[in-house]
Structure 1
Amino acid sequence: MVISEDLLWDAEEKGTPTVSRLRRTAVTAGCVGLFVLVLWTASDATWAAWAAAAYVLAEIAYRVWDRRRLVEARIVVGEADGRARLRLRQAGGRTTEHDPHQVARVLIIRDNVVDSANLRLRLHGKRVLFGRPGRPPAVTTWRRTCPRAHVHERNAWWGMPGVPD
């Protein structure tokens, strides 16, 4: 097991891109609002209002899910007992520490087009934690750090655009 502090996962974007999401939501809401006003006089356009409400709810759900994604995973020496701990930091700022033996599965999905990867981490008895896209990590470091985990790496299922598979 690794005793020194090692960075296992590092996302490219660690903050929450609030301005771009607010701009996207405002533009979509404005277009749907204009569409509703144009169609409201000629026919029943309540479906457009329901579509706008569904879009806003979907955007809120995505924001909540995105704040729980992992942006950093590192192995640190525990302060109390001196044992190595797995420190996971989420996009919303929450940091948790776990025993590396609690990790059941690590899946690294490499992108076929650009040099990036996604992380899926499952702890024993817990839900799957998703990582934001980042640089592909070394699989051997994960295997050495989490000896009981099933560490697997695969390419993404989609191919390069414009090139037949």
Structure 2
Amino acid sequence: MIMPAGQPLLLPVKPWFIWFSLLLALLLEMMLGMGLSGRAAWPPDLLAVALLFWVVHEPRRLGIGSCFVFGVALDVHQGALLGQHALAFSALAYLGLQVHRRLLWFALPTQALHVLPLLLAAHALQWLVRLLTGSGWPDWSALLAPLVEAVLWLPANWLLLAPQRRPHDPDDSRPL
């Protein structure tokens, strides 16, 4: 694959790092749910951002099935309707797989703009499931979560790609 101009070549990602980052995002999501925000609608879904990131960057290592499993785990932890997050994360993974080749050609701010509709669709799917089960209409502050998640795409990109940017074989006698 030809890389966009000015983008450095990255080393292959270690599979353990993908799963470690996803488990860490799941734990952070669980701690945020138990913290001060509680059941508020505005906090970002860190697990959704991490899942979408790895689906876009490593589509062969993470797919719809693993996103479904993480969604069920989050549903069980939050005591939410079983399958609510699983359905949203599966749809998010599907949409991420549809745009992953095109998305990586854009600069990071443009990527965040392209990711925003995907995150909005995942949240809208969760809101629809809640409406169908009689939980009521979401508050206007629920629209902040996808916006914050799209902004979090930038630091997530820097943080999760950092281990791949290290020099692969330092050697003073080679120019590359």
Same fold (TM over 0.5): no
Structure with greater helix percent: 2
Instruction: State which structure, 1 or 2, has the greater radius of gyration over its C-alpha atoms.
Output: 1
Structure with greater strand percent: 1
Q: TM-score, normalised by structure 1?
A: 0.28
